[in-house]
Amino acid sequence: MMKADLPMTRDLVLVGGGHTHALVLRKWGMNPLAGARLTLIDPAPTAAYSGMLPGFVAGHYTREELDIDLVQLARFAGARLIMARATGLDLEARAITVEGRPPVAFDVASFDVGITSAMPALPGFAEHGVPAKPLTPFAHRWDAFRAAEGPARVAVIGGGVAGAELAMAMAHALNQRGRQAEIHLIDRSRALTEATVTGRRILVDALVRLGVTVIEDASVAEVRADAVVLEDGRRIASDFTVGAAGARPHDWQTKLALGLEGGFISVGPTLQSSDPAVFAVGDCAHLSHAPRPKAGVYAVRQAPILLENLEASLAGGVMRPYRPQSDYLKLVSLGDKTAMAEKWGRGYSGATLWRLKDRIDRKFMNKFRDLPVMGQPDLPSLYAEGMAEALGPKPMCGGCGAKVGRGALTEVLARSRGATRPDVESVAGDDAAILKFADARQVISTDHLRALTFDPYVMARIAALHALGDVWAMGASPQAATASVILPRLSDGLQRRTLAEIMDGAGEVMAEAGAAIVGGHSSVGSELTIGFTVTGLCEAPPITLEGARPGDVLILTKPLGSGVIFAAEMASAAPGGVVAACLAHMQQPQGAASRCLAGASAMTDVTGFGLAGHLSGICAASGVAAEVVLADVPLMDGALALSEAGQSSSLLPANRQGAGVIIGADGPRGDLMFDPQTAGGLLAAIPEARADEVIRQLLAEGYPAARIGRIVEGPPAVTFL
């Protein structure tokens, strides 16, 4: 039996995408522990590597070179990635509390959340300062500041080696851009005291060479938008003030019901905390048996020990102790492509040391590049005809990318409509039917999705919004829903946890939409599938595919691209930031958009058949043609680049074949017109006189809506111009 066929029985939750956890994920992906479900919680889709941060600040590395892509790494490890901020630990409930969503249950947990250099007690810092740690938000803020024009005034609070390294990197970057740079390094006592005598001399010389002014024995009284005010009254002009003074644990970490040392999680030789089911590594941990300064080299060397001990905790094995080295080679960037090295109390500098540091850093980052990609299973030596063609060249997509093509579905539905009833009205091509009562009209529809993310909570939200799309597309108000869930094989405990996450996510969406979940059904299968049957009430005549008239303007409320992005994500080819933005688009409800589009001549939601297929359905039902300006169709960030790189959904060929009469739509941008969308936007035909006002209303409601074309006279066809 394959590992994938075995039931999951235990939850391992990694909190934070630090260096140790990143290495654990990589090793886990190569040989996962059977029966363990792995979860990573981190607020960002990427994690900056500390070793390359000064080089990035100086301009020697791009942002892509700096970041570990947690989305791609989680996919490789078979882990669900929860992009949210951890806020605490409930030991009694065995759960991690998370910002903006229900707690995440665990059997074994590990913390690798790093540290912060925020200064909450310093007046004005929260509003105007930039903590050097966490690294990812700092890198984002610096990227924007470095790209600006004109004079640059920077102040770094904290005259340790880390602060000096950042000051030198910033000075080099700004000088290279030709900006008039004014950099100050401020310390409350003597700067660079942790360096050796030789090392301090090297650093001071480098600071002077780059024009950095060092201010010692100066306490900061206040940070303002344009200055740092010292306690002696001096005012240091600064438009970018960085906090690099020391290392503090995150505020929520200091409140954990664990053994703490100065707010850091105290761990023993096995990296376990006072609760044996909770581990901690990296800068957020305090090694009670062998205290060490905060340094990435320790975090990296903890990874194999942590992995072995996590597996032992989950499977009942024997723990190994972690024994940190007594000293290590310290490599410090000096702004330009030179570096200083310190070990055993001696210091050196030069370009050769920069090349050494660069080689070490790139070797580390290469561990997370070119991860093996999931492919199709090998065919047996003997198989029935047609199997290779049915299997296709790539794994089947999730979401709407896993649906049957429009042509096959339309053909089958046309001959299996069931009994004709006077109180049931349907329009050819519409996904919802209209139930007629004495004075009311009720719409009903059903939809289900093969999971495209391992996160049941997010997947349930997407599936619920996707199902509601048919109700909103008819101009109806959501009324009721029943759930249909297929779970993969899980232990009883994990079944309960997973169902709770699904119903929490779906319940939030339905409650916000005004619909009640009135029941549901569940079963066990090979993978997670979530669906809903939904009803809605129409106060006005329902909007169907019929009714589009020549002269109507076509308006789309969401950009396209979810199909190609998640096809690429399955192949570890989609940047994490692109995937995160796509998930945000898919979780945007369309209720307010539906109200803005009230009175549309015709409307549909853009889902599995892609824009071309769904617009073709409007044309066929209304007896008209459509013209779309290809360049005016909004696309999700990264979608076009992925299409140009040859990425596509497994449903793309069927969508092209079954879309009806399509003229144009060639090339990578054209492929996106057939891209299957999951929880996509609304596509409406609006009378010309109302179009500008409707666009204004949609934009005011936060929708990235766009006018993409118009309805014209002619036989049903869609022309892309």
- Is the distance from CB of 616 to CB of 711 less than 8 angstroms? no
The pLDDT tens digits for 449-470 are 989 999 999 999 999 999 999 9
Instruction: Specify the pairing of strand 80-82 against strand 529-538.
Output: unpaired
> For 522-548, what is the mean pLDDT?
92
Q: Average model confidence (pLDDT) for the chain?
A: 91
Return d(Cα 67, Cα 22) in angstroms, integer: 11
The length of the chain in residues reads 721
**Position 358 pLDDT exceeds 80:** yes
C-alpha to C-alpha distance for 364 and 55, rounded to whole angstroms: 15
* C-alpha span between 524 and 397 (Å, rounded): 20
Measured between alpha carbons, how far is 94 from 321 in angstroms, rounded to an integer?
A: 25
- Return the structure tokens found at 665: 């739509």
Query: Which pLDDT score, from 0 to 100, does residue 428 have?
Result: 55
pLDDT at residue 374 greater than cutoff 80:
no
Q: Counting beta carbons within 10 angstroms of the beta carbon of residue 423, is it exposed (0 to 12), middle (13 to 18) or buried (19 or more)? A: exposed
How many distinct helices (H) and strands (E) make up the chain?
22, 37
How does residue 1 score in pLDDT terms, banded at 50, 70 and 90? very low
| Identified catalytic residue from 400, 582, 596, 619 | 400
Amino acid at 301: R
- Three-point CA angle 585, 638, 63, nearest 5°: 110
Q: Are 265 and 281 in contact (CB under 8 A)?
A: no
Q: Tens digit of pLDDT for each residue in 122-157?
A: 999 999 999 998 888 999 999 999 989 989 999 999
Considering 286-300, 377-391, 631-645, the range whose residues carry the highest mean pLDDT is 631-645
Radius of gyration of the chain (CA): 29
Indicate the helix (H) or strand (E) that contains 689. Answer: helix 688-700
The pTM of the full predicted model, rounded to 2 decimals, is 0.91
397 is catalytic: no
Start-to-end C-alpha separation, the chain: 53
- The kind and range of the H/E element at 7 are none
- DSSP run (H or E) holding 662: strand 662-663
Instruction: Assign 422 a pLDDT band (cuts: 50, 70, 90).
Output: confident
pLDDT number for residue 349 = 92
What is the C-alpha separation between 502 and 411, in angstroms, rounded? 33
Q: Which of 250, 241, 189, 231 has the alpha carbon at shortest distance from 214? A: 189
Write down all domains in the chain, each with its CATH number in brackets: 3-114+249-328 (3.50.50.60), 125-243 (3.50.50.60), 431-543 (3.30.1330.10), 544-721 (3.90.650.10)
Q: What DSSP string runs through 86-102? A: EEEEETTTTEEEETTEE
Q: Would you state the structure tokens that stand for residue 175, as one six-digit string?
A: 């000088």
Per-residue confidence (pLDDT) for residue 38, from 0 to 100: 98
Nearest to 374 by CA among 211, 539, 566, 218: 566
- Tens-place pLDDT, residues 190-202: 999 888 899 999 9
Q: What is the 3-state secondary structure (H, E, C) of 443-505?
A: EEEEEEEECCCCCHHHHHHHHHHHHHHHHHHCCCEEEEEEEEEEECCECHHHHHHHHHHHHHH
Per-residue pLDDT of 466-508, as tens digits, reads 999 999 999 999 999 999 999 999 999 999 999 999 999 999 9
Span of 85-99, 271-285, 364-378, 578-592 with lowest mean pLDDT: 364-378
CA distance 575 to 579: 7
- Between residues 407 and 367, the one the model is more confident about: 367
Task: For the chain, give the percent of residues with pLDDT over 90.
Answer: 78
Q: Please tell me the distance from the alpha carbon of residue 334 to that of residue 350, in angstroms, as a whole number.
A: 9
Contacts 24+ apart (CB under 8 A), 26-30: 26/73, 26/76, 26/77, 26/367, 26/368, 26/371, 27/303, 27/304, 27/307, 28/77, 28/78, 28/79, 28/307, 29/73, 29/76, 29/77, 29/78, 29/371, 29/372
Task: Kindly indicate the confidence band of residue 406, based on its pLDDT and cuts at 50, 70 and 90.
Answer: low
Phi first, then psi, for residue 278 (nearest 5°) are -120, 120
- The string of DSSP codes covering 398-426 is SBGGGSPPHHHHHHHHHT------TTEE-
Going by pLDDT thresholds of 50, 70 and 90, the confidence category of residue 378 is: confident
Compute the distance between CA of residue 638 and CA of residue 122 in angstroms, rounded to an integer: 40
- At 293, the pLDDT band (50, 70, 90 cuts) reads confident
Strongest mean pLDDT among 192-201, 361-370, 391-400, 583-592: 583-592
Instruction: For residue 718, give Cα distances in angstroms to 486, 612, 615.
Output: 37, 7, 7
CA 91 centroid distance within chain: 27
Give the up-direction half-sphere exposure of residue 44: CA atoms within 13 A in the CB hemisphere: 16
Segment 55-69 mean pLDDT:
94
pLDDT at 2: 44
Q: Residue 184 forms beta bridges with which residues?
A: 155, 213
pLDDT in tens, 3-15: 557 899 999 999 9
Three-class secondary structure of residue 295 per DSSP: coil
Q: How far apart are CA 159 and CA 166, in angstroms?
A: 10
